[in-house]
Amino acid sequence: MVDTPTADIPQEPDISHVNPAAGGTWFGHPKPLFWLFGTEMWERFGYYGMRALLTLYLTKHFVLGDRASTGLYGGYTALVYLTPLVGGLLADQYLGSKRAVRFGALMMAIGYFTLAFGGAPARPYQVIDGQRYEVAVENFRDAPTSDPHEARYLIYAGQKLTMRGNDDGSLSLDAADGREVRRVAAGHFSEQADRSALMTMVLLLALSLVSVGNGFFKPNISTMVGELYQPGDRRRDAGFTIFYMGINTGSILGQFLCAIFADTIGWPAGLGLAGVAMVISFLMISFHGGRLDAYGNPPKRDGPDRALLIYGLAILAVPLFYFLFQNLMVTEKAAPGSGFIGYLASLPLMGKLLFGTFLVSVPAILIWSFVRGSRKEGEMMLAAMVLIVFNVVFWTLFEQAGSSLTLFADRNTDRSVFGLFTLSAPQTQNFNPLAIVLLAPAMSALWGWLSRRGLEPSIPIKFAIALMGVGGGFLFLVWGSLFAGPDFKVGLWWLAGLYVIHSIAELCISPVGLSMITKLSIARVVGLMMGVWFLSISVAQYVAGVVAQFASVETIGGQVTNLKVSLDTYTHTFTVIALVAIGLGIVLFLLSWPLKKWMHGVQ
């Protein structure tokens, strides 16, 4: 997800009469915006650079398999969007935004550097009918992009046998002359790997550190941008737009450069570069020459400063997050035929907590709204909750970018660019922020043009368009798979097309989300509703990992041995989720008329 911060009071009249020429400015804005712009840009560099590598790091370096890797990725990104609820509250009540951002940046930098210490790569082996067989790897590169000459063999009765997956799920073991030495039926073999328990612990510890640090950083840097402008200053929206460009600039650079470093030097260089970016972010928020002295300061409170206590408790939360990640890795999937109840019972603890909180909070707040508020307030809250539920669906599918779509790019995409050079799989994620930067002005102009003519779609219709758009993007890629070559690889531009369509869909839903919540919520619970909004995105991140597990491809000896099966698996999953998204988009489109009535004029 490319973040789209929203000015907290958009479309204000210019009642302050601020003279942009008065005092020092940066592009007509307060000079401190430069420091906040840079702090956020380098943080996004680190976050998106690391995120682009994470799924491949888990599948290739740690050989965790698709199911465990995408599940762990989903759990991590879920916490990234959940922890800001606590970090924002602590900054508002005790720390102040500046100290919270500084502490968060330091924690994240330590986390990225810790993540870079992955140790030696895991060594895959195969278990056939309960017996272990070693796997020999030739021309191995411990990097996001495998060596084109890499070959893996099963050591069987003193022979090096090629492992070949068959369409029926069985495994063929072939001699050098192509003769099939043995065929193993589906279900009689499984992939395992020897990996360092210490390095696995370091991996989960690093993800925990980043998750905690993100909770302090993410919500509070935007708050400081808002403080730069007095109420009524018309420059506020433009300031947030500049800040937003910093987010996209950091995202593009991070996903491009971290991938290059990881491919040319190794995982530690790519992940370590994310840490270096985070150190720069920390330095900008800490050493600003006094330019930020007036912003993000702690609220006036009686009694001792509780900062050290809060920092200590945050560090103590790291083992708790470590436990959640560990539980996520070891939880087995539900037994076949166990049904929905069995599925819920088999969820890891993180899934139970997220789903439980969301499923309880939504109806509880609605009941409270109708009991304690007026009918109008209750209807507006009902409209907000309906849109929040559909928001979960959108981000669940959109966030396949870092998991299933990255694996698809690695395995079933011809990433050659006009035959001149080849993108790595992590770099394909850059199509989204590039499209956002190019299309955002056009989309903004389009909405303005329609608005002047009274034709701008309502918020529910924009949400419906976004849902159908994200489904349409997947169908576009599935269509492209029909033109895959004999190597079962789809042209890069089909994947790029998916990201462009998804970016257009994102521009329909993301900029209006936060504003919609503030306008529809009852004033005395607007903070709680903002919490539910971010909780919905957190749930979506987790569910995105679950959906990606349905697209899991069975690897044998640490590699995909049948690209036809791989392509069929991805296209089937993408077709199903596309049809679900389009169907729900149509449902929301039909609901837009009662929703518009319940919104009572909110635009």
**Residue 144: its pLDDT value, please?**
95
Which stretch of 11-25, 100-114, 429-443, 588-602 has the lowest confidence by average pLDDT? 11-25
Question: Is the model's pLDDT at 539 over the cut of 50?
Answer: yes
**Residue 431: its pLDDT value, please?**
96
Q: What is the pLDDT averaged over residues 297-311? A: 89
H/E element, 25: strand 25-26
**Residue 339: its pLDDT value, please?**
62
**Which residues, listed in sequence order, are joined to residue 171 by a DSSP beta bridge?**
165, 184
Which pairs count as long-range contacts for 523-529, CB under 8 Å and 24+ apart, including other chains?
A: 525/365, 525/368, 525/369, 528/365, 529/365, 529/381, 529/384
Which stretch of 101-110, 231-240, 360-369, 397-406 has the lowest confidence by average pLDDT? 231-240
Q: What DSSP line would sit under 41-106, residue for residue?
A: HHHHHHHHHHHHHHHHIIIIIS---HHHHHHHHHHHHHHHHHTHHHHHHHIIIII-HHHHHHHHHH
* 468 C-beta neighbours (distance < 10 Å), count: 21
Question: Is the model's pLDDT at 3 over the cut of 70?
Answer: no
Nearest to 320 by CA among 219, 207, 216, 217: 207
**Residue 225: its pLDDT value, please?**
85
pLDDT range class, residue 126, cuts 50, 70, 90: very high
**Residue 344: its pLDDT value, please?**
67
pLDDT range class, residue 229, cuts 50, 70, 90: confident
Distances (CA, A) of 227 to 30, 96, 220: 10, 12, 11
CA distance 163 to 159: 12
Nearest to 467 by CA among 389, 403, 530: 389
Helix axes 492-520, 526-550, angle to 10 degrees: 160
**Residue 523: its pLDDT value, please?**
74
Nearest to 220 by CA among 324, 327, 93: 93
**Residue 14: its pLDDT value, please?**
41
> How many helices and strands in the chain, by DSSP H and E?
17, 13
CA distance 547 to 356: 19
**Residue 274: its pLDDT value, please?**
97
Q: What is the pLDDT averaged over residues 554-578? A: 92
Q: What is the pLDDT averaged over residues 255-260? A: 96
Question: Is the model's pLDDT at 52 over the cut of 80?
Answer: yes
Which stretch of 141-155, 228-242, 322-336 has the lowest confidence by average pLDDT? 228-242
Question: Is the model's pLDDT at 280 over the cut of 70?
Answer: yes
**Residue 21: its pLDDT value, please?**
42
Residue percentage of the chain with pLDDT more than 90: 61
Residue pLDDT, tens place only, 458-500: 889 999 999 999 999 999 999 999 999 999 999 999 999 999 9
**Which residues, listed in sequence order, are joined to residue 491 by a DSSP beta bridge?**
414
Distances (CA, A) of 443 to 394, 451, 462, 495: 19, 12, 12, 22
Mean pLDDT of the chain: 89
The more confident residue out of 499 and 554 is 499
Question: Is the model's pLDDT at 18 over the cut of 70?
Answer: no
Residue reference for tokens 């609820």: 85
Residue pLDDT, tens place only, 425-454: 999 999 999 999 899 888 888 888 988 888
Question: Is the model's pLDDT at 281 over the cut of 60?
Answer: yes
**Residue 127: its pLDDT value, please?**
94
Ramachandran sector of residue 354 (left: φ over 0; alpha: ψ -120 to 50; beta: rest): alpha
**Tokens (6 digits) for 405:** 């779509």
The more confident residue out of 253 and 342 is 253
Residue pLDDT, tens place only, 149-195: 999 999 988 899 999 999 998 999 999 998 999 999 998 999 999 99
**Tokens (6 digits) for 193:** 């790997």
pLDDT range class, residue 334, cuts 50, 70, 90: low
**Residue 329: its pLDDT value, please?**
87
